[in-house]
Chains A and B, each alone.
Chain A
Amino acid sequence: MPSLRLPFSISSLCASAVAVLLVAYIGVIAVVMTYAALTVEFSQSVRNDEAAVAALESAYLADVARLTSTDYAAVGYAKPRATTFIRAQSSTALR
């Protein structure tokens, strides 16, 4: 009966497996931490951008309100004496 001998040491196999798992574990931790950091950073960036957009929208709506409440007579514009309604003309001469 021939002796059963593996071509490698069992202990070295276990050690290699442990080493691979350790490296993978550290890698996963690094990925998770990087992901978490980027998530927080991006989310805050999104919030800051939203706040900036809100400020612009606020300015736009304030401008609309100001224009709407403008008394055009008070700023020098006169009401037209008459308004003429005409049919819309073709925009090109070819039609």
Chain B
Amino acid sequence: MRAQFRSRIRAILLFVVLVAVLILVRLYFVQIVDGDDYALKADRQFSSGGSGLFDRGAIDFTRKDGTPIHAATLATGFLAAINPQILTDPETAYRAIRAAASSSPVLSRDAFLAAAEKKAQVYIEVAHRLSDEHGKALAAQNIPGVQVLRERWRYYPGASLAAQTIGIVSYGSGDVLVGQTGLEAAYDGALSRSGDALYKNFFAELFSNVGNLLVDAKDAREGDVVTTIEPEVQTRLENDLAKLTKRYASKESGGIIMDPATGAILALASYPSYDGNNRQDVAPSLLGNPLVEHVHEFGSIMKPLTMAAGLDAGVITPETTYNDTGCITVNTARICNWDGKPRGVIAMPEILLQSLNVGASWIATKLGQDAFREYFTALFGTKTGIDLPNEGRSLLSNLSKPQQVGYDTAAFGQGIAMTPMQMVRALGALANGGMMAEPHLVRAVRLNSGIERSIDWSRTTPVFSAAAVRETATMMTALMDQKLEGGKAMIPTMSVAVKTGTAQLTDGRGGYHTDRFFHSFVGFFPSYSPRFVILLYTNDPQGVEYASETLDTTFLDLVHFLIDYYQVPPDRGLATSTSSG
């Protein structure tokens, strides 16, 4: 009995050893001999569900009530492809595809027939972006040699809305669609997808990489981008800029609406722009964002900054007076008021109320070159750090030279240049107690898990004292109430601080045109606790000289719209006030 038991045990052991050897041999073949083939096959199985289908995170506008509205998302439909080896009746196939792709990109008849003749090939795409309905109808026809496959593509529901800010995706140098401009480029890391997000093989992940399944680095990176842009405010700004540009046949116009306390940009637009869904004939120069890439000499909207610098440094007070002679000569250059007329002995507020170049130059001289350079370098010496690519640098070289004329002209916005984004950041300091906020377009990235990862934009740069900016705001508010449209623009229940600017355009030969101008306009409200700062400009308007003639209508429309839309409560006024319509 014992011998019989031993023999059974040996038999089982032998069986187990044989099985083990067989498994080892099989593993050797699987892992070593045919390892590469199996790895390839496994890779294909693992990723085949999502391969070929474009995937990318969304970019959202944020309505005033916090509702997200897609600025960029994905559209789903079908593409049509042919297999020339199977296609027997190209004419019929073309007619069917043409009918299905009535409003979609499709090859021309000649190109289609030429493709059908390429019998060496088995797959040629002939039509893209077929709608769900048309794609399914085409597939139902079961035309031999015609394949109808799922396709996804980038889609911008707002078409041209904030197109230059949202940006585009394209192939660039590789064979993968990546963000090329705007937020698409700036947040490409968050928006791009590895392609398996929705098709993840849970069991393969479980057995092959438990660590990644639990804590995956890309889960902390990939998501949707949530912007601060308010779609209705953006629409209003774009509409107003288009009307302005057409009315005065300007070369271009632009505008920014920002919350000066946080730096959140509610609207950012320039005209002309383009339709993100139809870029066939778009000039490459339009694809960038002029508001962060181009620099301009802004003219007299610089004067409030000069005034605040003088007040902050203590070299002037609102009661300080000077003798305005109408024109002065500095380093052989002649600086004059806009009308060349002297004002005599006047106080500081008149410099802003009457936009006096001689007065601004006088403050610059009082400040001294070192102090002036220090203030303006703090305001414009660095990039804003806005979350858009290719931000331009300011041109402040005149402030590195010993000639006083460079400082005197900079005091009223000529001879130095900066981007509109730098300008609104600097002017935002006047609306934020003297602190410059960080302008930004994206407030958070909403991760695939649903968690919103907020982006910290809380850093502020102190430039002026609160007292200096309050006194400057008082002068700018008086300009709105007394001067703009002859005082008719005043809103009885809302204080609004404004300044217009008209700069001569450079002629490219070191001088300035005498009949071509750059108009700018800045304003913020309520004056002493601002919720909005608005910067507008129009470049080379025809038949008009001063910004107060071109931009006041646009500015006032935006102010009234924002007051109504956000229901901004009155900050002044009597129990009952009436203004003429």
Contacts and interface: CB of A to CB of B under 8 A. Distances in A.
The answer to whether A and B assemble together is yes
Interface string B185-215: 0000000000000111111000000000000
A7 to B, nearest CB: 14
Contacts of A42: 198
A43 interface: yes
B581 A86 contact: no
A69 interface: yes
Nearest to B45: A36
Interface in B129-173: 132, 150, 152, 155, 157-159, 161
B235 A43 contact: no
A68 B237 CA distance: 10
Contact of A36 (B49, B158, B236): B49
Contacts of A79: 581
A19 B77 CA distance: 47
Contacts of A60: 69
A54 interface: yes
A3 B1 contact: yes
Interface in B425-451: none
Contact of A86 (B70, B231, B235, B576): B576
A22 interface: no
A35 B202 contact: yes
B239 A65 contact: yes
A82 interface: yes
A54 B73 contact: yes
A82 B155 CA distance: 45
Given A57-B157, A85-B578, A51 B12 contact: no
B487 interface: no
A21 interface: no
A61 B576 CA distance: 37
Contacts of B198: 39, 42-43, 46
A16 interface: no
B580 interface: yes
B239 A50 contact: no
B581 A57 contact: no
Contact of A68 (B5, B236, B575, B579): B236
A80 B581 contact: yes
A28 B159 CA distance: 47
B231 A64 contact: yes
A36 B12 CA distance: 40
Contacts of B579: 82-83, 85
Provide the main secondary structure of the chain A interface: helix
B250 interface: no
Nearest to A2: B1
A50 B49 contact: no
B492 interface: yes
A83 B578 contact: yes
Chain B contact-residue range equals 35 or more
Interface string A61-95: 11011001100000000011111111100000000
Contacts, number: 102
Contacts of A43: 198-199
A43 B267 CA distance: 34
Contacts of B8: 10
B220 interface: no
B113 interface: no
Nearest to A40: B49
A22 to B, nearest CB: 16
B371 interface: no
B353 interface: no
B578 A82 contact: yes
Given A3-B2, A40-B49, A51 B232 contact: no
B75 interface: yes
A51 B1 CA distance: 77
Contacts of B75: 51, 54
B76 interface: yes
Contacts of A47: 74, 76, 152
B76 A68 contact: no
Contacts of A58: 157-159
Nearest to B561: A68
Given A10-B8, A69-B239, A83 B581 contact: yes
Contact of A81 (B73, B155, B581): B581
A84 B70 contact: no
A58 B276 CA distance: 13
B514 interface: no
Contact of B70 (A10, A40, A53): A53
Contacts of B578: 82-85
B342 interface: no
A72 to B, nearest CB: 12
A26 interface: no
Nearest to B197: A43
Given A40-B49, A64-B235, A84-B578, A51 B74 contact: yes
Contacts of B506: none
Contact of A85 (B1, B5, B570): B570
Given A60-B69, A82-B579, A84-B576, A39 B199 contact: yes
Interface string B1-45: 110010010001000000000000000000000000000000000
B69 A86 contact: no
B69 A57 contact: yes
> Which 10 A-B pairs rank lowest in CB-CB distance, beginning with the nearest?
A43-B198, A58-B157, A57-B157, A80-B581, A85-B493, A51-B76, A85-B577, A61-B158, A3-B1, A47-B76
Interface of B: 1-2, 5, 8, 12, 49, 69-70, 73-77, 132, 150, 152, 155, 157-159, 161, 198-203, 231-232, 235-236, 239, 492-493, 570, 573, 575-581
Given A57-B158, A69-B239, A85-B577, 13 more contacts: A1-B2, A4-B2, A35-B203, A39-B49, A40-B49, A40-B199, A54-B70, A57-B73, A61-B69, A65-B235, A65-B239, A85-B576, A87-B575
10 contacts: A35-B202, A39-B199, A51-B75, A58-B158, A64-B232, A65-B235, A68-B236, A80-B581, A81-B581, A85-B573
